[in-house]
Amino acid sequence: MIVLKSQREIEAMQKAGEILASCHKEIAKLIKPGVTTWEIEEFVEDFLKKNHATPEQKGYKGYEFATCASINDEICHGFPRKEPLKEGDIVTIDMVVNYNGALADSAWSYAVGDVSPETDHLLKVTKEALYKGIEQAVPGNRIGDIGHAIQKYVESEGLSVVRDFIGHGIGTVIHEKPDVPHYGLPGKGPRIKEGMVFTIEPMVNIGMYHTKMDLNGWTARTVDGTYSAQYEHTIAITKEGPIILTEQ
């Protein structure tokens, strides 16, 4: 069942989204060679506390951290760690913020110092793919229109879209209906309606789209070792179209 949200519920999620967006803006200033994702994790915990918010991912299905920090060939659900980031790396920081019981979810990929032209292309295309998906999130369209727009664009740029992890409805729990794949066929899937709130979060790989799971049972990485990027927003559907609740 897809739960439709009232304007009040959407406004509450927007407050969580504002905190999350300002946290990402601070993270952008911290990312440089030598910094560890453990330091980012501690920064986020502290930032949320100061803003009277809590990290919803911590404790979710046994996940132990406020953030996911996925480096280079890691696609998602990387663990924050004490290993310094190096020039040329990319890192995706993903988190869910809880503010007074309302949630917002946003991931952002960051370049560490100067990155190769190939990596820079990956970052640009992945971010653009997110916005091409959001454009399709209008009442009357179908969920498949979102994934189709993303896949068509990403593949036209010679990159691939991950299938094994998808966007999702979100409200007072992290994962609700609808499922939001970042690939697929136009005109398929549930009709998009006013009051829906969901994430769009394409993960894009330079090489093959396939994933493999680390022994920790959480971290997914590319099978061919190529880099993977991700940009994620939480959006609410209104009569006039989508509002991005986590826009920076």
**Cβ proximity to Co ion, 43 vs 63, nearer residue:** 63
Under the binding rule (CB under 6 A), the answer on residue 182 touching ligand MF3 is no
Tally of CB atoms within 10 A around 116: 12
The answer to whether 121 is a known ligand-binding residue is no
Q: Which of residues 88-107 bind ligand MF3 (CB under 6 A)?
A: 94, 96, 105, 107
Q: Which of residues 62-81 bind ligand MF3 (CB under 6 A)?
A: 63, 68, 77
> Which of these, 148, 158, 162, 88, lies nearest to 125 by C-alpha position?
158
Q: Coil, helix or strand for 11?
A: helix
The answer to whether 210 is a known ligand-binding residue is no
The answer to whether 233 is a known ligand-binding residue is no
The answer to whether 89 is a known ligand-binding residue is no
Residue 134, amino acid: I
Q: Compute the distance between CA of residue 98 and CA of residue 188 in angstroms, rounded to an integer.
A: 32
Q: Compute the distance between CA of residue 73 and CA of residue 229 in angstroms, rounded to an integer.
A: 9
Quick note: the x/- pattern for ligand MF3 over 120-159, rule CB under 6 A, is: ----------------------------------------
How is residue 48 written in tokens? 């949320």
> Which of these, 150, 79, 83, 159, lies nearest to 119 by C-alpha position?
159
According to CB under 6 A, which one of 178, 201, 236, 244 is a site residue for ligand MF3? 201
According to CB under 6 A, which one of 38, 43, 60, 131 is a site residue for ligand MF3? 60
CB-closest chain residue to ligand MF3: 57
**Cβ proximity to Co ion, 67 vs 151, nearer residue:** 67
Alpha helix stretches (DSSP H) within the chain: 7-30, 37-50, 117-135, 143-156
Cα 107 to chain centroid, rounded: 3
**Cβ proximity to ligand MF3, 209 vs 231, nearer residue:** 231
CA angle 155, 190, 153 (to 5 degrees): 15
Under the binding rule (CB under 6 A), the answer on residue 232 touching ligand MF3 is yes
Give the residue ranges of the annotated binding site: 77, 94, 105, 168, 175, 201, 232
Give the residue ranges of the annotated binding site for substrate: 77, 175
Residues that bind ligand MF3 (CB under 6 A): 57, 60-61, 63, 68, 77, 94, 96, 105, 107, 168, 174, 199, 201, 232
